[in-house]
Amino acid sequence: MEISQIIPHIEALIFASDKALSSEEINELINNALGFIEDRASVEQIESAIEGIREKYETEFYAFELKQSGGGWQFLTKPAFHKTVALLNGDKFLKRLSSAAMETLAIIAYKQPITKSEIESIRGVNCDYAVQKLLEKDLIIISGRNEEAVGKPLIYATSKSFMDYFGINNASELPKINEVLMEELVKATIMNPAEEDQTGLNEKEEVIMENNENNADSTSTLPEQDFSANESKQEEDV
């Protein structure tokens, strides 16, 4: 099957879909739609076609691009046009998660699967409201129950919408905790240029003061030596 034949169909599928489509899903849809029997499209052909589409929309002539996000492929507006799109979507586009929801979501993302009591033991506060809001926004899902715990509590995990929301394809793409902490540690040790200049000035002042003290000591001893020499000279004259 020629790749040029399936490219328009791939573009149509990704454009019309309300969720990210994986290469395997696109492959199955195209083969079913076109009814290929002997000459069926392969996943390798689909991926080659997708790469061509991606390169096509990377050019400056298009305001959107083909990105792999949320576990599949989708058309997304380029960052340069985000403010323009925000005017169309209004307040809905600008809504952000609260700090409590973000903390709860971060714990679930890094510790999943996890129960609500485990989340609360880490945060130190009740998280019923935060968990409920995250469920409503489809950022987390109930992935089952902890059969070994008392009462068999529900366990939570991140959803496909979570990956789409943060532009990643799986949880392994999340930044490592030690990397984040190391960045904060490095930032904390960077000295402000103004403070650094002031420190340099203080060091210079200390050196100057020390030199002045040394010079003062040397100056104070010179006359005594001269006087002693003069007295000896006078005694010899006498």
Rama region for 80: left / alpha / beta (φ>0; ψ in -120 to 50; rest): alpha
Band of residue 225 on the pLDDT scale cut at 50, 70, 90: very low
Sorted by sequence, the CB contacts under 8 Å of residue 117 that are 6+ apart come out as 153
Instruction: Sort strands 72-77 and 64-69 into parallel, antiparallel or unpaired.
Output: antiparallel
Locate 21 and state its tokens: 């489509």
Q: Is the pLDDT of residue 205 over 60?
A: no
**Range from 24-38, 132-146, 164-178, 200-214 carrying the lowest mean pLDDT:** 200-214
Q: By the 8 A CB rule, do 13 and 21 touch?
A: yes
The pLDDT tens digits for 152-189 are 899 999 988 888 777 787 777 787 766 656 655 555 44
Q: By the 8 A CB rule, do 155 and 114 touch?
A: yes
The helix (H) or strand (E) run that includes residue 143 is strand 140-145
Band of residue 141 on the pLDDT scale cut at 50, 70, 90: very high
Asked if 3-89 and 96-187 have one fold, the answer is yes
The pLDDT tens digits for 54-83 are 999 999 999 999 998 878 899 999 989 988
The pLDDT tens digits for 1-29 are 688 889 999 999 999 998 889 999 999 99
Domain locations along the chain = 3-89, 96-187, 193-238
Q: What is the pTM of this model?
A: 0.57
Distance (Å, whole) CA 87 – CA 94: 10
DSSP H helices, the chain, are 3-16, 23-34, 43-57, 82-89, 91-94, 99-111, 116-123, 128-136, 160-166, 177-189, 193-237
The CATH class, in words, for 3-89 is mainly alpha
Q: Which fold has domain 96-187?
A: Arc Repressor Mutant, subunit A (1.10.10)
According to DSSP, residue 36 is labeled -
Q: By the 8 A CB rule, do 87 and 77 touch?
A: no
The helix (H) or strand (E) run that includes residue 137 is none
